[in-house]
Amino acid sequence: MKKIIIYFIIATGLLGGAFTFFKYNTRTSDAEVTNLESQEDLSEKEREELIAKNVERYQPKGDKENSKGPGITAQSAIVVDEETNEVLYAKNVHKKMPPASIIKMLTFSLALEVYNVDEKIEITEHASKQISNKINMKAGEKMSLSDLLYGLMMISANDAAYAIADAYEGGFEAFIELANEKIALLGLSNTVMANPAGLDDPNQVSTVYDMATITRYALLEHPEVVKYAGKKTEHSVYATEDNEPHWWFGHLSQMLRSYKGMIAAKTGYTDEAGTTYIGIAERGGRRLVVVLMGGSGPSANNDVKALLDYGFAN
C-alpha cells in the first residue's frame, strides 16, 4: 500500500511539472495573447505573431463607408456587432481626431491590469490640480481603485485618470509609455495617448475604428467595464482615515438613461474634439458598440440614437 501511495505522489508531481512547463512555455494561449503589459522577452517574429492575433481578436471586421444608413452630423462614427465583430456602419472610421475623454476607456483597462481593484491609490498634487470634470480629491488622500474607476467612467473625472497614471511604478511617463505599447500590440497605428484623461494635446489622436478596438478589448478582457461605465445611480465614497467623503450624482450620459437597451457609456468633450462618445447597447440578445467623434452638442445624442437604431435593424 505504501508503494502505491509513493508511486501516486511521484506520478502526480511529474504531471504537475509537465503542466507547468506547458503553461509557461506555450505562447498561443488566450491569456498570453491578451497580456499586453510587458512583452519585452518576445523576439521580433513572436511580437509580429502576437500583434496579428490581437488584430484578429479585437479589431472590427470591415471598414468600408456605408452607402446607406442614417445621416449624422458627427464627423466620424462606427457601429460594431460585439458577437461577430462585424462593422454595421462606418463613416470616416480612420480619420485621426482628438478623442477627448473616451480615451479613458484605455486608462480603465490599464488600471485593472497594473493594480488590484481594492488597492488604495494616493492622490498626487499633479492629479489634484487637474481641471474639471473631477472628483475634487486633495493631494495625500487615498482612494480605492474601484472608487477611482467609478469616477473615471461615470463623471469622466480627470483627477482620477491622473491619479491612476501617477501611481504607476515609474510614474506618469511610464504609464503613458505602457499605454502606447498596448496600442501598438493591438495593431493600431492611428492612436497616440499623451495623457490619460483625454485633455487636448496636439500629440493625442485616435479614430473611431481604433476606439472600437480598445472598447472591444475592455469588454472581452475586463467585462466589469459595463458595471463601472453603466452605473446610473449616485456613487458615494464615505470618509475614512485615508480620505474625505466624496459623492456624485449618476452618470453624465443622457443616452444611458433614455435609450432603450443602453447598458454602458463613456462621454467626452473638449473644444478641439467636440463631442465624442462610446455606447454599449443590448436588444433582443444582440450587443452593439457605437463610437462617435467630432459630434456637435445635443445633436450627438440624436446621432447615437440613429446609429444604434440602424444597427439593431441590420
Which residues are annotated as catalytic? 101, 104, 156
Neighbours of 216 (CB within 10 A): 19
Distance of alpha carbon 212 from alpha carbon 289, whole angstroms: 7
Bridge partners, residue 275, by sequence = 269, 295
Spatial neighbors of 309 by CB under 8 A, at least 6 apart, are 70
Hey, what's the cell of 228? 463601472
Distance of CA 191 to the CA centre of its chain: 13
- Measured CA distances, 105 to 43, 53, 137, 265 (Å): 29, 21, 21, 10
Bridge partners, residue 214, by sequence = none
Q: List phi, psi (to 5°) of 118.
A: -95, 0
Pairing assessment for the beta strands 76-81 and 87-91 based on DSSP bridges: antiparallel
Bridge partners, residue 289, by sequence = 80, 280
